[in-house]
Structure 1
Amino acid sequence: MKEQPAQIRWEHHTQRPLLALAVIFAAAYAVPIVLPAADPALKRACTTVEWVVWGAFAIDYFVRLVLSENKKRFVRHHWLDLCAVVLPLLRPLQLLRVVATLMLVGRRARMASQIRLTTYVAGAVTGLLMFGSLAVLAVERESPDGNIKTAGDALWWSFTTMTTVGYGDHSPTTGLGRVLAVGLMLSGIALLGVVTANIAAWFIARFEQDDVEERRQTAAIEALTEEVKSLRAQVTALSSAVPGAQAGPTSVGVPRAAAPPRDGAV
């Protein structure tokens, strides 16, 4: 049995711990936003947890880079992971650490063969709704002209934005809030396309399966018909080869019974 590369073994062993860290990150990110009056020490602890989790994902990326057999190919095919690691280091883009964590979790989830597409889409929708709501609430709540002041407003806005409905009753007024809105809209369109394509592929597969079964039955019937025709031809040939096969019973060499003697005959 061929041994798996070191990179694949690392990804297999770190998949679950990183997903657990992502859940911890979600809780640490949500607490200061949902509870703005929380103790400052709790907020600092949550911020520390966020950076620790991001650091774990950054270490994971660099370890996979070191273990990869072709490092140039790894960087070229995992450039989104690199952006997710580098962008949160820039102070004006610190909010992107939530987006970076989502990207990294999503990339690692796609590597797991046991996670089906439906589960991935459902998890992506849930994560985007939650993080989108929290992020826009954190940005818009302190804005003087903002109209997204509560968690309910933020969640409603995320739903209408991801589905591209856009009622307009709640909308971001800051530049960063509008950037988040664009990201949610594009993500919603992409996920809707994935779901639609998945459903269409399922129907096409079912139709193709029915067509294959129908073609198989038709081929079997045609083969049986040809076999019957062949058997009829053989029977006809055999009948023609036997002389007098269509004559009566006396025509095949069976002697006739002797006629009874006439009266007075000796």
Structure 2
Amino acid sequence: MSDRSPTPSRQERWDRRMETPLAVASLAFLTAYAVHVLARRLPEVWHGVCLAVTLGAWAFFVVDYLVRLRLSGLAPHRFLRAHPLDTLVVVLPLLRPLRMVKLYDRVQRRHGPRLGLYGRVMVYSGLSVSLLGFAGSLTVYHHEVDAPGATIVTFGDSVWWTCATLATVGYGDVSPVTPVGRVTAVGLMACGLALLGAVTGSFSSWLIQTFTREDEKRTDAERPPGDSPGA
């Protein structure tokens, strides 16, 4: 029997090679978009630079998607069905910074102590919520700040609204009035329910597991010497 591991496919080699560049491009995209949205008094030339970086990163994402489509050997409609999230991220590139969570996982596995299952779920969900919340805040602020009748007029208002939406609290003191803002709200509600639910469920499972182990240790300590559990 051979101990050699299977040779990775061309698509797997491409994914490994592009993981770090895509994470860097995702960070550049989010940073440039944040500067463009928040630094409203910057000279026009710098806004042009931010726009160029944003569009360049987006083009990089599209090229990566097309290359993976070609390497997969699948027809476009089959690739779309097999990778719906990848397609969504190309259409909505503000979701792309979530790739940094995957990069964190690889770095943590190589250079740090391995977290348990529940710890990884909570850490990754927390990072995802933070990145999605920041991206959502930028998007809503960008489209709401100059809209007629808007209640979200500062970035602080947008962050507060995003936190309330992700937590599905919905105070109603501020709310989006533009179509883009409302579509973003629906997406944030769905992501908030999924990600925060994963954190809550993992934390509850960890507590149950911890208490179960403590009960088993206490039972073993109270059992008379020589008395086996199956006796």
Which category describes the TM-score, using the shorter chain as reference length? 0.7 to 0.9
For structure 2, the 5+ residue unaligned runs are 110-114
> Does the residue aligned with 2:227 lie in a helix, a strand or coil?
helix
2:133 alignment counterpart: 129
Shift of 1:118: 2.8
> Aligned to 1:82, which of 64, 83, 87?
87
Which whole-Å CA distance do the structure 2 matches of 1:39 and 1:223 have between them? 76
SS at match of 1:221: coil
| Mapping for residues 55-74 of structure 1, pairs under 5 Å | 55-68=59-72, 74=79
Matched, 1:40 2:44: yes
- Whether 1:221 and 2:221 are equivalent positions in the alignment is no
Return the alpha-carbon distance in structure 2 between the equivalents of residues 28 and 14 of structure 1: 21
Find the structure with the greater CA-based Rg: 1
Alignment length, in residue pairs? 214
The residue type equivalent to 2:89 in the other structure is A
Structure 2 equivalent of residue 7 of structure 1: 11
What code does the residue aligned with 2:141 have?
L
| Equivalence for 1:197 | 201
Stretch moving more, 113-122 or 31-40 = 113-122
* Secondary structure in structure 2 of the residue aligned to 1:222: coil
Query: Deviation string for 1:90-149 (max 9, x for gaps)?
Result: xxxxxx4324x246x279559959493233212211111211111111111111100111
Paired amino acid for 1:132: G
Contact 1:129/1:159, CA 8 A, preserved across alignment: yes
Answer yes or no: is 1:30 the counterpart of 2:70.
no
Quote the Cα distance in structure 2 between the aligned partners of 1:75 and 1:138: 30
> How big is each residue's C-alpha offset from its partner over 1:205-246, in whole Å with a ceiling of 9 and x where there is no partner?
33554577689897x733897xxxxxxxxxxxxxxxxxxxxx
The answer on 1:97 being equivalent to 2:93 is yes
Alignment partners' CA distance in 2, 1:63 and 1:215: 58
Equivalent residue letter for 1:134? L
Residue pair 2:23, 2:100 contacting (<8 A) in 1 also = no
> For the residues of structure 1 that align with 2:191 and 2:60, how far apart are their CA atoms?
25
Contact 1:109 1:120 in 2 (8 A): no
Q: Indicate if the aligned counterparts of 1:25 and 1:50 stay in contact, CA closer than 8 A.
A: yes
Supply the distance in 2 between the matched residues of 1:14 and 1:80 (Cα, whole angstroms).
17
Could you tell me whether the CA contact under 8 Å between 2:101 and 2:127 is conserved in 1? no
Tell me which amino acid in the other structure corresponds to 1:178.
R
Alpha-carbon contact 2:125-2:196 (below 8 Å) kept: no
TM-score, normalization by structure 1: 0.68
Aligned counterpart in structure 1 of residue 174 of structure 2, from 159, 170, 175:
170
Give the drift of 1:13: 2.4
Normalization by structure 2: what TM-score? 0.77
Higher relative CO (Cα under 8 Å, sequence separation at least 6) belongs to: 2
* Matched residue SS, 1:50: helix
| Cα distance change of structure 1 residues 20 and 66 upon mapping to structure 2, 3 Å threshold | same
Query: Which residue identity lines up with residue 39 of structure 2 in the other structure?
Result: L
1:53 partnered with 2:49: no
Letter in structure 2 aligned against 1:221: D
Q: Distance in 2 between matches of 1:149 and 1:34?
A: 12
Gaps of 5+ in 1: 88-95, 226-266
SS across alignment from 2:55: helix
Identity %: 35
